[in-house]
Every structure is written in structure tokens, then in C-alpha cells.
Amino acid sequence: MSTATLPKQTGSAPAAATQNATPASSVADAPTDHPRSAPVVETMTMAAALNRALADALIEDERVLIFGEDVGALGGVFRITDGLTARFGENRCFDTPLAESGIVGTAVGMAMNGLVPVVELQFDAFALPAFEQVVSHVAKLGNRTRGDVRLPLVIRIPYGGGIGGVEHHCDSSEAYYTHTPGLTVVSPSTPQEAYSLLRAAIASPDPVVFLEPKKLYWSKGVVDTSVTAELRQAQVIREGSDLTLISYGPSVPIALEAAEAATAEGRSVQVIDVRTLTPFDDATVMEAVRGTGRAIVIAEAPGFASVASEIQARVFEQCFEYLEAPVRRVTGFDTPFASPKFEHWYLPDVDRVLDAIDTLHWED
């Protein structure tokens, strides 16, 4: 991350588009508890950081609109959009019918006409009815028009387990999106990343699928709103020399906890937060693994044909001569998501990571 102040978005929307945008006076009437573009440093939850990022984007760019199921007066199931309708008006943050395909299709039309829609699809599996729009239009329109039509569109999706939910509420469907060329897929692991990466996603001229780990919504951390993040950039978040744990989103805290536990057993463990699942930052990850010679990929999603599998294959292909042991994966099981009572057996935990570490040919 750099420490530069986030740039204000520029560019004007076509006349037809601006007719639907909020008048400048509405933006000017927004409360001034946080002056426009004035950076703040506060301790907040990931949910609050996301809310702040959306609010700052609404303030700084009149083209930004937020919509989805219950995101208006209710503020969303997880209250990520809490207070935004009251603050910015129903033209900037509003509810939609229960029609995910319609939500994304409408966003495509808005983005084609100069607006910057940020849509929320309430739960991961609820996004599947919109999948045809995502794959056939959101991901392909830029290529279809040889770059003449760009889609500055963000699709926010709460995903992953750890909240005691049932199927359709705890899925990890990132592999579907990462398998689709034309999409940038992002998942934050801290409140700071949530703020900075969401601002970067909204500033992107191309579509971003923004996967929010539900179980981390209430995690807390210091957020500096002047800190920017680069999409497509992984980050070494813990140094170590014996092995590298590679993870993203909801599994990053497990990786860090396992690293601490392994250190107590005399091993020096490095941790990488992938952050952007695609396009994948090969340079950062491969440099790290070449330095340690051992790697484990940790992710909640089922392991078969998964993002974890892709990372494992890339490490084998690009670091084979440096490896001291096979690259392992610690993932969810190849089954439908477990019921709340058995969720703790399904999700990767510290013990499973430590068991995988023990298999990395330390005797040599």
C-alpha cells in the first residue's frame, strides 16, 4: 500500500446518465462530520470500514450509485449501507426487487451510460441467479467492444462461513468468478484492506467482484482513510524463513494464528495475503515461496478445482526447483457446506494447518 491520498475520480457522465444522478446540491447537503476527502485514522469494524468507503465514494463522485436488496432504509442485512440512504438520498442508495439478475443487468446499463454502480447481492449463493449477466455481459463487454465500452461496476458479495448460517448463506463461490476472464476478484481480510480495496474497486474503470468475508465483518482494526491499495497486488503480512502460508479473505486470520502456533514449535513462518484473487500476483507469491522452499495454501472453499488448487499449481510450475516439500492445501471439504452444528469441522482451522506443516519433509 502507498500512503498517497486517494485521487478524486474524474470524468463526466453522458447527459442521459446525469439526469438520473443526484443533483450536486444533495451531495453538498451531506453531513460534514467527515469533511470531503479529509483523511481520518480511527479504530473501526470491517463493516464500518466498508460503510465509510461507500460514503466517501458517494461524496467524491456524483456518478456513484448503490443499490440492492434491503440496502436502503434497512441498511443491508449486515448493515454495510446503514445510514447511506438517509444521508445521500434515495437517488444515490436505494432498494431493488428480489431479482439479482435484474440488479446486475441494470448496473450494466448504468455503467455503459456513464454511472458507477455499486451493487450488493445479499449472500454468496443469492448471486447465482445473476451469474449469466456476470459471465455473459459484465465480464465480456469490454472485450466485445475492443475496449470502447468499459464497465466501472462493483458487485459486492458477502461470502464464506463462520457465522452459523445454513447452505445458500455460507458458500465460497470465488472459483466461479476467478475462472471467468474479464473480472477482477478481490477479498479483503482486515478493516484497512476493506476500506482501501473497496475504494480502489470503485475507482477501477473495469468490473470488480468484491467478496466480503462475513465472519470478519465485526473484526476491528485501525483504518487510515488516506491509505490506498493497488488491485492485483498480494502482500507479505508476516515475515518468516522456513515456510510460506498463502491465504486470502476469511482464512487469513487462521493463517496468522497458525503461524504464531508454529513459531512456538520452533518454525519461522511467513504469511501472504493474496488480496486480489485474479489477476493473480505471481511475482510477490513466487518470490516469497522461493525464499522459504515450503508452502501451504489455506482457503475455505472446497479444494477440488479451486482457487487454492490454482495457486498450488502455479507454485509447482514456477518454484519447483526451490521446493523442499510438496505444496499442501488446507481447504473446505468437497461437500455442500456443513450445517451450523458441524461448521467448525468443515472450515480450515489452526490444527489442520499445523498438521499440514508437519508433513513438509522437515527431517531433510
User: Nine-digit cell at 297?
Assistant: 495454501
**Residues designated as active site:** 169
Q: What are the tens digits of pLDDT across the range 52-98?
A: 999 999 999 999 999 999 999 999 999 999 999 999 999 999 999 99
The answer to whether the beta carbons of residues 286 and 317 sit under 8 Å apart is no
pLDDT of 364:
59
Q: How many other C-beta atoms can be found within 10 angstroms of the C-beta atom of residue 326?
A: 12
Q: Could you list the mean pLDDT of each consecutive 10-residue stretch along the chain, which spans 364 residues? A: 36 35 35 60 97 97 97 95 97 96 97 97 91 96 94 97 85 95 98 98 98 97 95 96 98 98 95 98 98 98 97 98 97 92 92 96 77
User: Nine-digit cell at 27?
Assistant: 451531495
What is the C-alpha to C-alpha distance for residues 267 and 263, in angstroms, rounded to an integer?
5
What is the C-alpha to C-alpha distance for residues 263 and 244, in angstroms, rounded to an integer?
13
Q: Which segments of the chain does DSSP mark as H helices, in order?
A: 15-18, 24-28, 46-60, 84-88, 100-112, 131-133, 141-144, 174-178, 191-203, 252-264, 282-292, 307-319, 343-346, 350-357
Strand order in the sheet with 269-273: 235-238, 269-273, 243-247, 295-302, 328-332
What is the C-alpha to C-alpha distance for residues 218 and 278, in angstroms, rounded to an integer?
26
349, 356, 352, 303: which is closest to 328 by C-alpha?
A: 356
pLDDT of 363:
79
What is the C-alpha to C-alpha distance for residues 265 and 251, in angstroms, rounded to an integer?
21
What is the C-alpha to C-alpha distance for residues 38 and 325, in angstroms, rounded to an integer?
49
pLDDT of 167:
80
The answer to whether the beta carbons of residues 218 and 46 sit under 8 Å apart is yes
In degrees and rounded to multiples of 5, residue 37 shows phi and psi of: 65, 5
Q: What are the tens digits of pLDDT across the range 150-161?
A: 999 999 999 999
pLDDT of 13:
36
pLDDT of 36:
52
pLDDT of 294:
98
pLDDT of 37:
62
The answer to whether the beta carbons of residues 6 and 229 sit under 8 Å apart is no
What is the C-alpha to C-alpha distance for residues 238 and 261, in angstroms, rounded to an integer?
13
The region, left, alpha or beta by phi > 0 then psi within -120 to 50, assigned to residue 251 is: alpha
351, 350, 348: which is closest to 329 by C-alpha?
A: 348
List, in sequence order, every residue forming a beta bridge with 293; answer none if it has no partner: none
On the 0-12 / 13-18 / 19+ scale of CB atoms within 10 A, 2 is exposed
CA of residue 276 relative to chain centroid, distance: 7
CA of residue 206 relative to chain centroid, distance: 15
User: Nine-digit cell at 201?
Assistant: 474497486
What is the C-alpha to C-alpha distance for residues 141 and 139, in angstroms, rounded to an integer?
6
